[in-house]
Amino acid sequence: MADIPDGRVVAGRQLQVETHGLDVIKDAERKGSPRTLFWPWFGANVSVLGLSYGAFALGFGISFWQALIAGVIGIVFSFLLCGFVAVAGKRGSAPTMVLSRAAYGVRGNRLPSVISWVLTVGWETVLCALATMATATVFDRLGWGGGTETKVVALVLVGALTVVGGVMGFDLIMRLQTVITVVTGVLTVVYIGLVADQIHWSTVSALPAGSAQEFIGALVFMMTGFGLGWVNAAADYSRYLPRSSSSRGVIGWTTFGASVAPLLLLVFGLLLAGSSTKLNTAIAADPIGALTIILPTWFLVPFAVVAVLGLVGGAVLDIYSSGLALLSAGIRIPRYVAAFVDGVLMIAGSIYIVFFADDFLGQFMGFLTTLGVPIAAWCGIMLADLALRRRDYDEGDLYRPTGRYGDVPLTPLLLTLAATALGWGLVTNSAASWLTWQGYLLEPFGLGGKSGAWAYANLGVLAALALGFLGTLALTRTRVRSQEAQAPSPADEGAAV
């Protein structure tokens, strides 16, 4: 049974393990339209974790309105970056971390591939752990036991759902995300209706305003927590679209699908967290489970469903892309084996978070900020390289070290290292003891050092993004023009390498 024109899958079509890895998607297999991108992006970001970001934002010491503005700008702008990267998938038919070989060279690209792999494995681990903790909290409130046994069972079930989705691949993910979108969307609306009476606008509106530095810190945190956590996977789904698809449509549907749920959830999360100091504090320890404190008992099971499905939706996309990133880093195994390996690491990391970690929020913020810097540098370089190109990628040369894109060009690698060094020197995170070495440039740059007003503004993420983008525009224009002046290479020859 075949796909119908708009990309939806006809009921009854047999699911199979996707055999595509880093190879180019042939024109005959490309299907759908830009609007089909709405489903995977909405399903991956409709998680009730978005409510908890309201507490995270207010934790920077800013007012409701400051947090709202920071959230709107951070979410929309960061997902807009995803939309731009997604255009590369339509133009190149390969995974995101293969397309960036055009900028980094075939083997030079292994550096950002490793960073991308660590980021996506980290994100899927965080989401799996949150789903496990939320399930345990719900069971504890119901009196069904929320101890070690419950957490083990929940971890096994969540891990199995995520790994199966990642191993099966694109077709199952698209079907799964459609179901998750509908179920979580409906149940989230019900949740909002049930707890709306917990909002006290007089308390929320009385929150004092914070400084410009605190506002910027919240803005950057929103960027790293949302779109910058996805840019390295943004072309993994658009590569299945026909080449004739509208670039504006790809950008628009990716940005809209990914942003709309987080924006709505953020607003309500800010109202809830701003109304209750107790809830605000509890979210730091258990970002999802804490949201059950204000729920009636009869809705706890549906809440567990919406929480787990929403988190699994994000984790499935992460594990699919982490497998592709592992392959692009040079590991020679089938894609579904790579996804399975990442699933094992995800479960191991979740065990640590659920059973041994004491401070979730501190470690989480440290993880986002630290990896957000090199990913921002990569994103800037990738977007500038894409903007400089007037033609589609030469797909054969993406796989050939002797081709037009080169093997290990020094400029993008040195630019990435410089942007990362600059970025890490301008960020701090005192809640994570393993990151105390960061912020080494705050004092030399006259920003007050690690205890000054700029210490938590996380300027390093913005600096890395800007340096990567502007440096690539300035230094690689001639290189790109030279590449595009060459005659097309034999497509099948490159794909076999």
**Distance between CA atoms of residues 32 and 90, nearest Å:** 12
pLDDT on residue 187: 84
**Distance between CA atoms of residues 240 and 315, nearest Å:** 20
pLDDT band at 28 (very low <50, low <70, confident <90, very high): confident
Compute, in degrees rounded to 10, the torsion defined by CA atoms 266, 272, 274, 280: -100
What are the E-state strand segments in 51-180?
none
If you average pLDDT over residues 422-428, what whole number do you get?
95
**Which of 16-25, 28-37, 183-192, 297-306 is predicted least confidently?**
16-25
> Mind giving me the DSSP string for 372-418?
HHHHHHHHHHHHHHHHH--S---TTGGG-TTSTT-S--HHHHHHHHH
- Using alpha carbons only, how large is the chain's radius of gyration in Å? 22
Which residue type sits at 255?
T
pLDDT on residue 380: 98
**Distance between CA atoms of residues 415 and 378, nearest Å:** 9
**Distance between CA atoms of residues 257 and 313, nearest Å:** 14
The per-residue pLDDT for range 275-296, each reduced to its tens digit, is 998 888 888 777 888 888 888 8
pLDDT on residue 112: 96
**Distance between CA atoms of residues 136 and 172, nearest Å:** 28
Contact status, residue 163 vs residue 319, Cβ threshold 8 Å: yes
pLDDT band at 431 (very low <50, low <70, confident <90, very high): low
For the chain, the residue count is: 497
Contact status, residue 468 vs residue 377, Cβ threshold 8 Å: yes
**Distance between CA atoms of residues 430 and 56, nearest Å:** 15
| Whole-Å CA distances, 327 to 100, 241, 285, 338 | 14, 22, 35, 7
**Distance between CA atoms of residues 410 and 29, nearest Å:** 36
pLDDT at 491 over 80: no
Decide which of 171 and 100 is more confident: 100
**Which of 251-260, 296-305, 417-426 is predicted least confidently?**
296-305
pLDDT on residue 5: 33
Percent of the chain with pLDDT over 90: 49
**Distance between CA atoms of residues 412 and 415, nearest Å:** 5
Contact status, residue 34 vs residue 250, Cβ threshold 8 Å: yes
Decide which of 175 and 129 is more confident: 129
pLDDT on residue 203: 95
Q: What does the block give as tokens for 231?
A: 């840019």
pLDDT band at 211 (very low <50, low <70, confident <90, very high): very high
Average pLDDT over all residues of the chain: 87
pLDDT band at 12 (very low <50, low <70, confident <90, very high): very low
pLDDT at 7 over 50: no
Q: pTM (2 decimals)?
A: 0.86
Contact status, residue 328 vs residue 96, Cβ threshold 8 Å: no
Which helix (H) or strand (E) segment holds residue 41: the answer is helix 38-45
Contact status, residue 495 vs residue 23, Cβ threshold 8 Å: yes
**Distance between CA atoms of residues 267 and 226, nearest Å:** 15
Q: What does the block give as tokens for 345?
A: 């690491």
**Which of 119-128, 200-209, 438-447 is predicted least confidently?**
119-128
Which residue type sits at 120?
T
pLDDT on residue 15: 64
Token pair 């076999």: residue: 496
pLDDT at 57 over 70: yes
Burial 102-124 (b: 16+ CB within 10 A, else e): bbbbbebbbbbbbbbbbbbbbbb
pLDDT on residue 462: 96
pLDDT band at 469 (very low <50, low <70, confident <90, very high): very high
Percent of the chain with pLDDT over 70: 93
Decide which of 252 and 94 is more confident: 252
| Whole-Å CA distances, 394 to 85, 306, 434 | 17, 43, 42
Token pair 């497998």: residue: 323
If you average pLDDT over residues 156-163, what whole number do you get?
88
pLDDT at 432 over 70: no
The per-residue pLDDT for range 130-147, each reduced to its tens digit, is 888 888 888 888 888 778
pLDDT band at 254 (very low <50, low <70, confident <90, very high): very high
Contact status, residue 184 vs residue 306, Cβ threshold 8 Å: yes
pLDDT band at 108 (very low <50, low <70, confident <90, very high): very high
pLDDT at 43 over 60: yes
The per-residue pLDDT for range 318-338, each reduced to its tens digit, is 888 888 899 999 888 888 888
DSSP state of 299: G
Contact status, residue 272 vs residue 51, Cβ threshold 8 Å: yes
> According to DSSP H, which parts of 196-299 are helical?
201-205, 212-225, 235-238, 247-275, 277-285
pLDDT on residue 32: 85
**Distance between CA atoms of residues 370 and 375, nearest Å:** 9
